[in-house]
Chain A
Amino acid sequence: MIEARGLTKRYGAKVAVDDLSFDVRPGIVTGFLGPNGSGKSTTMRLVMGLDAPDAGQVTVNGRLYRDLPWPLREVGALLEAKAIHPGRSARAHLTMLAQASSIPARRVDEVIELVGLSAVARQRAGKFSLGMGQRLGIAAALLGDPGVLLFDEPVNGLDPDGIRWIRNMLRSLAAEGRTVFVSSHLMSEMALTADYVVVIGKGRLIASTAVGDLTAGSSRRYVRVRSPQLAELRAALERDGASTDLGDDGVLSVHGLDEVAIGEIAAAIPVVLHELAPQSASLEEAFMDLTGDSVEYRGDPAMAGPTRGALR
């Protein structure tokens, strides 16, 4: 269980995380979604006690990270790929983490086996590909057999096999009753993995909801209608409050009325319908709807320069 309350983090004048509150519950995969630069990695560093919040707090299993008696046995994290000394072997990297947490040496071999790095465990990690680095990071996260797991963009740099492997692993870790918190900037990835999503943009909470509810609530939901008497039907629908778009292909997109209401209006006129098809937005579209206003345009000089000057 991870509980964030009013979490705020500034770097200089920039607010990276802004009054963020959310819960990550055990037994499910919770996706952490937001565009690049929206504060996901910062939030994860705050959870891990690596950065200190300017306001608010975040607890793991009811405690601040720094107060955990056996941090690696309680929380495992993959924060960045290849955060390892290039001259050190995978085995030595995991061994030094195990020793710091009094984890028996045989567990090191277990996790190496688990992530499929046995053949290269004694080689210098500097030669590892990004995908091998990710696997090593996952081995480190699983080392203490923790009940809470954080993964920051775990599928980055992995091939399709690796992506499927991660997806299955996340789901089985959650099925065992663990708390699994996974960040991604790809909604499509989360649609396949997560049960619940926390969506942020510009460091602020946008939504915290079950994945199914996210698409149902989207403004992108509409109904496709085709009819030989389209003009007549369209006028009737707009009288009843719908907004409509007529495509070049002769398909009318109707927003604001569902397929039941449209069918009844058509029957009452009456007009013939050739198609009446409700369209739910894809998860990706729902995500774009939610975060459209909050995409960070990094490096925009109009944002940084004059603003700072005006404050003086």
Chain B
Amino acid sequence: MANPSTLTAEEPHLHAAHATNKTYVNIAIILAVITAVEIGAIYLPWPDVVKFVLLGILSIAKFAMVCMFFMHLYFDSRLLTFLFAAGLVLGVLTTLTLKALMYVPSLSPPPKPAAVALKPPDAKRGMVVFETVGCTACHFTKDVPGQAIGPELDGIGTRGATRIKGMDAKAYVEQSIESPQAFIVTGFEDKAQMANLRGNMDDQEYADLVTYLISLK
């Protein structure tokens, strides 16, 4: 019998002697079952780390089965396995390295220093903060274009004072930034929930932004 590792591409029918259609169907069934187990693992009452390990093992098992049987690496020359594995290992190492780099504190950007003494808040500077900090992903004003996922903010300096009883416009705007879910404007309940962007700005930028917003009468 021919050594599978020496079979040429002109004899693919000889490879087939190692795997029948029944084998392929069985492999496909196993792959489908593993996928179902992966989905079921989401709902298991286990710690996340255990579930991640389980998912990793299942995913590698599926990957290996397709490579070995559907792609015939199990029967083919080891040279082909090496060619593929070389790229695969580099790809995996790239992923792990980048993920690790993002988690090493010494290599992460330093946190923004807190402002020692705040300057008087300024609406013009606040408008720049509004443009750059991420607000325009959902809001817009007459001065600054943005997406219309959240409410338009022109007039918030007036409207804000009427939203919650006993709360003026400044307090309302501050609450909306620091606790975005505290009050949802009618008609926007089903939209994507607003993110808390307070951590993206220092105290000076925050004060400027609030001043800008309540200047929108």
Determine if chain A interacts with chain B.
no
A residues neighboring B (CB under 8 Å):
none
B residues neighboring A (CB under 8 Å):
none
